[in-house]
Amino acid sequence: MPLIVLGIIFFALFVQGVAGFGSALIAMPLLVPILGIEVAAPMFALLIFTGEIILIIRYRHALHFDQIWRLMIGGLLGIPIGMIGVNTLPEPLVLLILGVVTGGYGLYALSGARLPRLKNPNVGYGFGFVAGLLSGAYNTGGPPYVMYSSTRGWTPAEFKSNMQAMFFVSSLGVILGHTVMGRMTIDVMQGFLLAVPAMVIGLVLGFSLDGFIKPEQFRKIVMVLLVIIGVRLIYVAVTGMIVS
């Protein structure tokens, strides 16, 4: 496995350890051009599922299942649609969508925009469904979850704990889907096993620095990186469409 892939996975899980989310937004836009969507998606789903087990144990004290079960149901409904849909799209269009989602979310977060408080918890089904579509296609279901959390006023502890539980369930659904569709190939499993040490080291280092890095400052740095990655993906996608 190329060292750059291990470096991407290390940094992505480091971000997850510090901020509580963001690993797929960092990793997938960088892994897809290197490994292709058919390898990157199932491999990273396995990695983040393994990492979420550690994260749930760490943040279990603030978990509120009553706040997230609607999101989980919506996500599980959206995952198979996203997984089937991404197979029908040409790779430049996949990169374009991934770039728009990644860069768009980075701009949204940097703008300081806040969604209005929504009193009806049933909107969680809709946010969860969109997250499921993105999770099934690209493992990037985080933005809808983060946006929903801002409409509900979760505390930082609730945010981190609830996010891990939602990612755990969605990752399990994605893994099952990839397995049914025959995507858990030898290459995927070998890549997963080789990347586990980088994942663990990234998480542990993120945990150790969690108390020393101001979350808001760190998040801004990550969002700037997401915007840069998104713009690069859009450029590569548009160039690929023109050439083809």
Report pLDDT for 161. 85
For the record, the structure tokens of 107 come out as 């701009």
Name the token pair of 105.
Answer: 């979310």
- How far is CA 230 from each of CA 33, 96, 158, rounded to the nearest angstrom? 13, 9, 28
pTM, to two decimals: 0.81
pLDDT score at 201: 95
pLDDT at 150: 77
CA–CA dist 219, 102 (Å, integer): 14
The string of pLDDT tens digits covering residues 78-133 is: 999 999 888 787 878 887 888 888 888 888 888 877 777 777 889 999 999 999 99
pLDDT score, position 72: 95
Terminal-residue alpha carbon distance, the chain: 29
Mean pLDDT of 158-183: 90
Q: Which two tokens stand for residue 190?
A: 């070998």
| pLDDT of res. 244 | 58
- With b for 16 or more beta-carbon neighbours within 10 A and e for fewer, the 2-34 pattern comes to eeebbebbbbbbbbbbbbbbbbbbbbbbbbbbe
| φ, ψ at 237 (rounded to 5°) | -65, -45
Which range is least confidently modeled, 46-50, 58-62, 131-135, 180-184? 58-62
CA distances from 3 to 6, 34, 117 (A): 5, 12, 44
Give the C-alpha separation, 52 to 167, whole Å. 7
Tokens of 140: 């990037």
Cα separation, 38 vs 84, in Å, equals 12
pLDDT at 182: 92
Q: Where are the domains of the chain?
A: 3-243
Run of H or E residues at 177: helix 156-180
Q: By three-state DSSP, how is residue 235 classified?
A: helix
